[in-house]
Amino acid sequence: MIYPASVPRSPAKLLLILSATILPLFPLADLPGEDPALPAAALVDGRPILVSQLEQELQSITGKLTLTEKARNQVARDLLERVIQRRLVMAYLERSGQAASRADLLVAREKLKLRLDLEKKSLEQYLQERKLDEHQLDFQLAWQLSWPRFLRKYVTDDNLQRYFEQHREQFDGTERRVAHILLKATGEEQIEQLRARQVSLRQQISKGELTFAEAAREHSQSPRAKQGGDIGWINWNGPMPRAFTDAAFATDPGTVSPPVQSRFGIHLVQCLEIKKGTGSWQQARDPLRNAIVRYLFSWAADQQREHSVVKRTGLWPGKASREP
């Protein structure tokens, strides 16, 4: 795994990069706390994530897509979690001295003034057009300056190559032939029951009481049940659910994964054989970079969790909770 050299080593749907170029008129520490007049979905160290902000971002993500209420709520929950992570990452960059300096922000302000003058616009017009206040812009500018700088420091050819060597099968075109046993869930209350059934099936297979193919033909609800659950060859970037692919690539040939959950239900996954890929890290440069960006984003957020307080208010899809 790659680690930023300046911090202790530690253990990555959507990476949200805010886009704005404007200077804050006050430091980040002066961001307002909870305001009853401005409903917040969550607070990170007392700084609100406004419902109105999330609604704008959700609209930009979903656009004109027609989603069920369940699907829209899931996207909304994922969005909130990612925005919370973004706040934690920014707090980590501040704490570790890697955030934009006041001098950087002053330069950005002058650049903004020049651009607005050329467009014959005022700062007030700029804010109104984007439905932003200066508090939100303050964070956005600090993020836009700090996060790309952090990436430039650590997304290097050396780290691309190192990450490739540590996750070769994800990027070199390796394929795995897999089979699975699927138990479909019709409601959340069934999940643990089905998981227990899969644990029992896995134990029977490991004891030799029946083969994986026999168990699939008898119990699986997959269209491939009659074929012993064999779904053929898959690669890391294929269409299978992420949890399924993770299990398939973490399982040695002939062995059976623990139960894994996807949107289809609960699976047992067996790797049947492996076809090694021959691709190089140079050929995989773009997906490698994307993977490292996601890893660094999660890594930096995790570094900050023990130093921050996250409070969800329950005003956005999902239950209110508090993280220490």
* CATH code of domain 175-275: 3.10.50.40
Region 192-218 average pLDDT: 96
Residue 186, pLDDT score: 79
pTM value is: 0.77
pLDDT at position 19, please? Answer: 29
Tokens of 315: 């005003």
What HEC string does 173-228 produce? Answer: CCEEEEEEEEEECCCHHHHHHHHHHHHHHHHHHHCCCCCHHHHHHHHCCCCCHHHC
Domain 28-164+287-323 has CATH 1.10.4030: yes
Confidence of residue 36 (pLDDT cuts 50, 70, 90): low
Please tell me the predicted confidence (pLDDT) of residue 296. 97
Q: Where are the domains of the chain?
A: 28-164+287-323, 175-275
CA-to-CA distance for 189 and 208, rounded, in angstroms? 31
pLDDT-based confidence at residue 63 (cuts at 50, 70, 90): confident
Confidence of residue 109 (pLDDT cuts 50, 70, 90): confident
Write down the mean pLDDT value for the chain.
85
CB burial readout 175-191, b (16+ within 10 A) else e: bbbbbbbbbebeeeeee
Does residue 2 carry a pLDDT above 70? Answer: no
